[in-house]
Amino acid sequence: MSDVNKVVLAYSGGLDTSVIVRWLQDNYQCEVVTFTADIGQGEEVEPARAKAKALGVKEIYIDDLREEFVRDFVFPMFRANTIYEGEYLLGTSIARPLIAKRLIEIANETGADTISHGATGKGNDQVRFELGAYALKPGIKVIAPWREWDMTSRETLMAYCKTHDIPVDFSSAKKKSPYSMDANLLHISYEGGILENPWAEAEEDMWRWSVSPEAAPDAPTYIELDFARGDITAIDGVAMSPATVLETLNKVGGANGIGRDDIVENRYVGMKSRGCYETPGGTIMLKAHRAIESLTLDREVAHLKDELMPRYANMIYNGYWWSPERKMLQAAIDDSQQVVNGKVRLKLYKGNVIIAGRQSADSLFDESIATFEEDAGAYNQKDAEGFIKLNALRMRIAANKGRSPL
């Protein structure tokens, strides 16, 4: 008799998770609760309800989490100008702590003692889901079927469906994209297929959210973004919710060939992985946020943020969103954003995001001091002589002691 009574499964309604429902029922003789999250993946999530019912599931959760996703996860991450290994805007990584949170909430609501997910034993997502779950409910049990069963391919999954009378559209399953894809409001990712050869160029018809830079309009598109405490609150003067901001920037960015990236990244489990990403809205957000910060942040605060950012990015990539160190660092980041207010004007052109202007009532830019023209005594240039000599003092002393740098 299994010690698992009820399992909450992160359920997409696709081939893998449909197999997992039946596999859990058969192998653990347990009740399965399905949870499907709408975080802006661009596909209908409601059909998952009928699929779950056909598998005998009684408790079915389908939640629209788009606003929460952007407001409470994407926006806080972008306040830190977060980017992993110099390129990856963490589109998949930042969605996982929200899904883990909701899995635990549903487990508490339904009395479930276990959660389950469809992440493989080779990837990062298993770590992210489970670290989040354990942080939020230390005694929760976790079942990761890909670490237990002996099925290793789409063909073996479809054979299991036929053997166990699992309702799956086999024609559509066979026509599925050759890539392993993940999408939400922040990005869409592609792995597998020809991308497993790092020398192979991604096929043009793979990309779904953006035109190629070559095919983008020949005339630039200008947009203006309003910032309040580090978050975008309006586009071209129109106030928008967080999710609507990102949706809008994805459309205008994709139309201008913005946001494509091809990366070989270091997974937390140790292997290198090649993936392609489309993050049009996020690419625009990062450039604009850095522009408004350049005007409003103190120099040392800005530099300290830049030094801490790689640590913060690693926390998110490796699944430590719910850790005390991320929470502590977030408090410091958010405190710095109190003055990050104003407007940024951008020119979008053939894959490029170009700063065309920035302004803020909290600006630290003082034209009377920075000017190359007459400054009416606002800055005494003679002060620089002592400043330079004091900063050179240790090097002068060392050189006088024979410690020449040559």
CA dihedral 381, 382, 383, 389 (to 10 degrees): 120
Pairing state of beta strands 352-359 and 180-183? unpaired
49 tagged catalytic: no
Determine contact, residues 335/304, Cβ cutoff 8 Å: no
**How large is the average pLDDT for residues 83-93?**
98
- Could you say which of 49, 63, 72, 180 is catalytic? 180
Nearest to 79 by CA among 288, 279, 231: 231
Nearest to 123 by CA among 16, 23, 246: 16
Q: CA-to-CA distance for 284 and 258, rounded, in angstroms?
A: 8
pLDDT of residue 168: 74
Q: How many CA atoms lie within 13 A of 136 on its CB side?
A: 24
pLDDT of residue 175: 55
pLDDT band of 2, cuts 50, 70, 90: confident
pLDDT of residue 44: 86
Q: How many CA atoms lie within 13 A of 159 on its CB side?
A: 7
pLDDT of residue 343: 98
96 tagged catalytic: yes
181 token code pair = 């894809």
- Could you say which of 79, 96, 102, 326 is catalytic? 96
What is the 3 state secondary structure string of the chain?
CCCCCEEEEECCCCHHHHHHHHHHHHHHCCEEEEEEEECCCCCCCCHHHHHHHHCCCCEEEEEECHHHHHHHHHHHHHHCCCCECCCECCCCHHHHHHHHHHHHHHHHHHCCCEEECCCCCCCCHHHHHHHHHHHHCCCCEEECHHHCCCCCCHHHHHHHHHHCCCCCCHHHHHCCCCCEEEECCCCEEEECHHHHCCCCCCCHHHCCCCCCHHHCCCCCEEEEEEEECCEEEEECCEECCHHHHHHHHHHHHHHCCCCEEEEEEECCCCCEEEEEEECHHHHHHHHHHHHHHHHHCCHHHHHHHHHHHHHHHHHHHCCCCCCHHHHHHHHHHHHHHHHCCEEEEEEEECCEEEEEEEECCCCCCCHHHHCCCCCCCCCCCCHHHHHHHHHHHHHHHHHHCCCCCC
291 token code pair = 């522009």
**How large is the average pLDDT for residues 223-236?**
98
- Could you say which of 125, 210, 226, 273 is catalytic? 125
**Residue 16: Cβ-neighbour burial (10 angstroms; 0-12, 13-18, 19+):** middle
Q: CA-to-CA distance for 17 and 9, rounded, in angstroms?
A: 8
Nearest to 229 by CA among 292, 294, 309: 292
pLDDT of residue 154: 83
Determine contact, residues 68/94, Cβ cutoff 8 Å: no
Max Cα-Cα span within the chain = 87
pLDDT digits (tens, 9 = 90+) for 329-384: 999 999 999 999 999 999 999 999 999 999 999 999 999 999 999 999 999 999 99
Q: CA-to-CA distance for 226 and 230, rounded, in angstroms?
A: 9
CB atoms closer than 10 angstroms to residue 149: 15
pLDDT digits (tens, 9 = 90+) for 60-70: 999 999 999 99
Tell me which of 92-96, 104-108, 121-125 is least confident: 121-125
Domains and CATH numbers, the chain: 6-73+86-176 (3.40.50.620), 183-297+340-359 (3.90.1260.10), 376-400 (no CATH)
Q: CA-to-CA distance for 188 and 92, rounded, in angstroms?
A: 8
- Could you say which of 16, 72, 182, 334 is catalytic? 16
Tell me the pLDDT of the chain averaged across its residues. 95
pLDDT of residue 172: 56
Whether pLDDT at 1 is above 70: no
CA distances from 85 to 96, 191, 237 (A): 19, 18, 34
Determine contact, residues 130/102, Cβ cutoff 8 Å: no
pLDDT of residue 171: 57
pLDDT of residue 53: 95
pLDDT band of 397, cuts 50, 70, 90: very high
Q: CA-to-CA distance for 15 and 74, rounded, in angstroms?
A: 29
One-letter amino acid for residue 99 of the chain = I
306 tagged catalytic: no
pLDDT digits (tens, 9 = 90+) for 183-198: 999 999 999 999 999 9
pLDDT digits (tens, 9 = 90+) for 131-169: 999 999 999 999 999 999 999 888 899 999 999 988 876
16 tagged catalytic: yes
pLDDT digits (tens, 9 = 90+) for 40-49: 998 889 999 9
Nearest to 191 by CA among 100, 91, 280, 311: 91
pLDDT digits (tens, 9 = 90+) for 283-309: 999 999 999 999 999 999 999 999 999
pLDDT of residue 170: 56
pLDDT of residue 165: 86
104 token code pair = 């635990």
pLDDT digits (tens, 9 = 90+) for 109-119: 999 999 999 99
Task: Name the pTM for this structure.
Answer: 0.95
Q: CA-to-CA distance for 41 and 64, rounded, in angstroms?
A: 11
Determine contact, residues 276/261, Cβ cutoff 8 Å: yes
